[in-house]
Amino acid sequence: MESVRRQISYSKLGKVAEVFSGLAHPTRIEILEILECGKVFSVGEILSEITAIDPSLLTHHLTKMKHLGILKSYKEGRNVYYQLAMPEITAVLDCIQDCKIKI
C-alpha cells in the first residue's frame, strides 16, 4: 500500500502548528477576513470593522499574528498599518468553509 502521508519535516510541522494556534481565535479569523482582500488597513480601520473589542485586545491579536508571520505591518506617523504577509492562509479558511464543519 502506497503512503498518502505528506512529507513535512518535523521542524515545519512545528511552524504549521504555531500558525494554526495563531488562528485559533474568532477575532483573529475575523481579522483575516478583513485583510483577505489584499488591501492595507490601519489599526483604526480594522477596529471599526470589528464590533465590541477593546483596542488593546485588538493590538494583542495583531501582534501575535505578526509574530507568527501571518501579518506584516509598517508605521506611518502615529498610525500602524497591517496586511497579510501570508495571503495563502485565506485558502485554509476557504477549505474549512467548504468542508461545511458542523458547529
Taking the C-alpha atoms of residue 102 and residue 17, their distance in angstroms, rounded to an integer, is 22
Per-residue pLDDT, 70:
94
Alpha carbon 14 to chain centroid, angstroms = 17
Taking the C-alpha atoms of residue 86 and residue 84, their distance in angstroms, rounded to an integer, is 5
- Contact at 8 Å (CB) between 83 and 39? yes
pLDDT tens for 16-55 read 888 888 888 999 999 999 999 999 999 999 999 997 899 9
Choose between 4 and 103: higher pLDDT.
Answer: 4
Per-residue pLDDT, 17:
87
- The structural domains of the chain, ordered by start, are 10-98 (1.10.10.10)
- Contact at 8 Å (CB) between 61 and 31? yes
